[in-house]
Amino acid sequence: MADQQISQAVGVDLNNLRSPSSLVSIADGQAIPAWLTLFTHVFPHGGWWHVLPNVTALWVFGAIAEGAFGSWRFVAAYLASGGVGVSCDLLIPPYPAHPAAGASLAIAGIIGAYSAVRWSRGLHTRLQSATIIALEAALSVGVLTWLAFRTIPTAPDRICSVMYHFVPLLVMWFVVRAYVGCRRFTQRFHDRST
């Protein structure tokens, strides 16, 4: 019962995010404005069997990613990944009946961001680069095809759950790849002009 009250207080209730005016309001049972729940929902969980896998994944992948990002960038990426992940819940039906809570969407985003950072640091052959571009395209087309041609279930199911996790992973992958590409372009431009 306490888990449900905490999830209600700081978890994302998607009904409270459907209009711009509701973003700044505090809904019944919630402790903070609706926009802030986009980031706080990564902290409460639905019980020990929900906490243990997330803590283990965060411990393993978080320690590796924090070393690559630095502490502040890791925290920012973690919270941004959680926001992207729950936005997926908001945009893709079916909508959960209870407030969304948990860290797995944020962890999926961290894995995507870390993978992109590692990939961007290395030198790659044309075949490796073409393979990555093909994988990016295949995963993106796969998610978009699922969105376009699926039969929407009445309640979230396992396939929805898996696909919800691919979205923050891909978004964070592409955000980091775009950021690194922009930095390289700016550096080359700066080097040519000096």
What are 41-70's pLDDT values in tens digits? 888 877 788 889 989 999 999 999 999 999
Report CA-CA distances (Å) from 120 to 4, 113, 116, 129, 178: 41, 10, 6, 10, 10
Is 1's pLDDT higher than 60? no
Query: What's residue 141's pLDDT?
Result: 93
Query: What's residue 2's pLDDT?
Result: 64
Model pTM score: 0.83
Q: Percent helix, strand, coil in the chain (nearest 5)?
A: 75, 0, 25
Residues of the chain with pLDDT > 70: what percent?
96
Is 89's pLDDT higher than 90? no
| Sign of the torsion formed by the C-alpha atoms of 41, 44, 46 and 51 | positive
Q: What is the pLDDT of residues 111-151, one digit of tens each?
A: 999 999 999 888 889 999 999 999 999 999 998 898 888 88
Is 78's pLDDT higher than 70? yes
In whole numbers, what is the pLDDT of the chain averaged over residues? Answer: 85
- Least Cα distance to 17 among 32, 3, 35, 42 occurs for 35
Query: What's residue 3's pLDDT?
Result: 65
Query: What's residue 174's pLDDT?
Result: 94
